[in-house]
Structure 1
């Protein structure tokens, strides 16, 4: 292998000699911790609010939502589906707006809008009104997840992104755990101002989100070049360390050609399929876990509290797997392993007659599902090059993933409680599909890396200036598998 290709393959460990040998030494680990502390807490908290405000409907349901708004069980399922429709339709447009504006403007603005909509959910009086606000909640929340995945790819080297995205996604596990406790506490406000406890769940959480969104305008930063918490040397250092690793430092303007490149790349659609096959079990379990636990014979109060442990376990496994995936620089084996664990959990759920064992099944599902999801959503951020192409790929992946959730919300009908043969059975099928899709993408990227190692793609540079970078089509680029 040529020296140039060896360097390309080992980008993640390439030092930045201009700074490490200079008089003003910069501690890279210390600088990364500084960046982490300025970026991640605010982003994690925003996603915590997002997940809390989308999944609290499950807590509200067992506190009288359907009865007070005169909804049938099937109509309730429709309100869950409509959220995903709004979410899917606006993810790519939202990331395009992010590219054309800035993270500091767009991410807090999205938070403000969905906080207002969440508050309005607590004031709805009937099925039609609740259906409308759920749709607009999906629209407003659509841009945060794919937006942050793209945003982090502009700050960190490729092998560093998964751990940070896992930390970001861990907010979902914390929101799931805290949501059960908060639902339990806010339900005690039943009768205050003549309102039901389920209404206060939406109103209090929505108002809190609005307040936090205002603060977010001051705590969300844009990109390294204009980050005020960094010195000029630190900015230069971050630029230097990213230069040979990704396209984050390139002055790329938005172009529709980048959008088209993403849509035409088969690997981008494979990333989307990987998340699609994980999106069904991931979202349906998050939405229905209080209902599933109630169906096992527990009271609504017990179900609120029992929904906490599965998310606590998920947080631990997500962060543990993230550490090992970063150290080993592997992605596919950990996804397949997590999906296999979740598969075992669903088999327990669908086959067990004992409530205690079925409850253990929910813990096993979350323990495997959340670590796999964290890696899947970080995969295109690691491997797709071209800023507009990557922003489009991340949004497309999550959009396609959520299409599965639209169907999933219709497969947990009350008449199938408590074992939900159709819903859990589909989850098992989807997880098998996930293992196949991830294995296929793993094989495709591994073979492409081998072709580039052998120089079979070098002709792409024949008529191109040596300083021109061709994105992930460049023969010097290596995919992380």
Structure 2
């Protein structure tokens, strides 16, 4: 190991040579990590998704009428402003995450976004609601980049696809629970001092504040700072992720890694995947209940049908991850799950809602469209596994979530009020995204396969560093290109 490149805090918990950890010991350590880290990521993401999704559920509970959001295209901006805020704070947030205790920073932001969400109940017009939504985006921006860093800190490479999927699947879970809770809140009506949609904001905001305080107490910042584990277990947890070869922690800024990140086609592929998936999901998420209600369902029926959509999303994400685990084919699985989205979108654009049968068919097609969401989750897990070097990773993660925010910001804007209720322009835009997504997937697979072939050729030629089973330089803060022993997953 090159101790001049290894983080000083990390160096105290790692040996110069690889320590073999038995499968039984690895499972024991993983269970301890799951209890402290994975549970927090899953529940935090669920709460964040639930908080962010409140606008979709409340959109048919009277808030648009009370706050004069029906005219023009005001309503889409209540989602867009969140992601514009994320776009501006994404790089500063990633810079901070790399340099401060991550658990404490995460908990602070959870508490702050809970307070902001509760303040949504005091909004009296479009302007005040936009201000609240913007601050919500600023504080929620920490969530996903922090979780990607935490996944690489605590989990082995082969575990990260499942880990990312477990917390990302909460997008579907919030639809199920959110739909049920929205149905319950809808029963309160709006003929009392606290209206049904205000009650949702106050309740969810209060829960987030309490949860943020719990995260501050329960979640460790890193394996090296985890006071809840013994010193021996901390050493083993560090050693356990040596084989990732993506580094573990390093606060030194390396400008050469910034240059490499900007010249790596991976960065632009991951950005395009995010744009091509978030543009449809954000629009479909913001307008989910409006679209379903436009199929001639009642308000209460629409709230309950959101639960079915959530269940479908959960099934898609878990199934795609299970197939990847069985086959090892990330990009081929991503491409396969885009196919149903093409079919569902074509049905929504061509079939007219004339009777109960077509109503059911259109609803099912709307559910099927969300199949492409598997590509977004798997791409995030590939990023955490394929990018080495802490500075390079911070740049790629920041760029990835900048694209994620841009796609989310644009998504609701393609749902134009004069195009309701079928939104042909929006669905045509989505079709273009799916086509581009398939092209990017094909190119990325070609590129990563080519890079691995070059490194395999070095190993075959007798270059020992390209076939180092001891992973000697795993913690040297080398990038994936600099480390000849690194192999990409695709």
Please report the TM-score for the alignment, with normalisation by the length of structure 2: 0.88
For residue 355 of structure 1, what is the aligned residue in structure 2? 359
User: Does residue 1:406 correspond to 2:409, yes or no?
Assistant: yes
For residue 13 of structure 2, what is the aligned residue in structure 1? none
More displaced 10-residue stretch of structure 1: 291-300 or 182-191: 182-191
For residue 451 of structure 2, what is the aligned residue in structure 1? 448
- C-alpha offsets along residues 58-93 of structure 1, whole Å, 9 cap, x if unaligned? 111111111111122511122221111011211221
For residue 3 of structure 1, what is the aligned residue in structure 2? none
Separation in structure 2 between the aligned mates of residue 303 and residue 26 of structure 1, nearest angstrom: 48
User: Does residue 1:471 correspond to 2:479, yes or no?
Assistant: yes
Separation in structure 2 between the aligned mates of residue 344 and residue 108 of structure 1, nearest angstrom: 42
For residue 8 of structure 1, what is the aligned residue in structure 2? none
- C-alpha offsets along residues 16-42 of structure 1, whole Å, 9 cap, x if unaligned? 76444xxxx952223212211221111
From 420, 423, 430, the counterpart of 2:423: 420
**SS of structure 2 residue aligned to 1:307:** helix
Work out whether residues 153 and 249 of structure 2, in 8 Å CA contact, stay in contact via their aligned partners in 1.
no
More displaced 10-residue stretch of structure 1: 428-437 or 64-73: 64-73
Query: 1:42-191 counterparts in 2 under 5 A?
Result: 42-71=40-69, 72-191=71-190
Work out whether residues 343 and 431 of structure 1, in 8 Å CA contact, stay in contact via their aligned partners in 2.
yes
For residue 29 of structure 2, what is the aligned residue in structure 1? 31
Deviation at 1:260, TM superposition (A): 4.7
Deviation at 1:460, TM superposition (A): 13
Q: Which structure 1 residue ranges, 4+ long, deviate > 6 Å from structure 2?
A: 456-462
For residue 7 of structure 1, what is the aligned residue in structure 2? none
Work out whether residues 273 and 376 of structure 2, in 8 Å CA contact, stay in contact via their aligned partners in 1.
no
User: Does residue 1:40 correspond to 2:48, yes or no?
Assistant: no
Aligned length: 459
Deviation at 1:383, TM superposition (A): 0.2
For residue 10 of structure 1, what is the aligned residue in structure 2? none
Deviation at 1:415, TM superposition (A): 2.6
For residue 261 of structure 2, what is the aligned residue in structure 1? 262
Separation in structure 2 between the aligned mates of residue 434 and residue 243 of structure 1, nearest angstrom: 33
Work out whether residues 347 and 362 of structure 2, in 8 Å CA contact, stay in contact via their aligned partners in 1.
yes
Gaps spanning 5+ residues in structure 1: where?
A: 1-14
Separation in structure 1 between the aligned mates of residue 479 and residue 47 of structure 2, nearest angstrom: 35
Deviation at 1:137, TM superposition (A): 1.1
Separation in structure 2 between the aligned mates of residue 273 and residue 222 of structure 1, nearest angstrom: 31
Separation in structure 1 between the aligned mates of residue 391 and residue 341 of structure 2, nearest angstrom: 34
Distance 1:402 1:195, change over 3 A: same
User: Does residue 1:330 correspond to 2:329, yes or no?
Assistant: yes
Please report the TM-score for the alignment, with normalisation by the length of structure 1: 0.89
Separation in structure 2 between the aligned mates of residue 295 and residue 142 of structure 1, nearest angstrom: 32
Distance 1:243 1:133, change over 3 A: same
Separation in structure 1 between the aligned mates of residue 257 and residue 123 of structure 2, nearest angstrom: 42
Separation in structure 2 between the aligned mates of residue 103 and residue 449 of structure 1, nearest angstrom: 33
Deviation at 1:162, TM superposition (A): 0.8
Gaps spanning 5+ residues in structure 2: where?
A: 1-16, 353-357, 467-471
**Structure 1 vs Structure 2 CA RMSD:** 2.4
- C-alpha offsets along residues 371-404 of structure 1, whole Å, 9 cap, x if unaligned? 2221011111110001232133123212212212
Work out whether residues 155 and 248 of structure 1, in 8 Å CA contact, stay in contact via their aligned partners in 2.
no
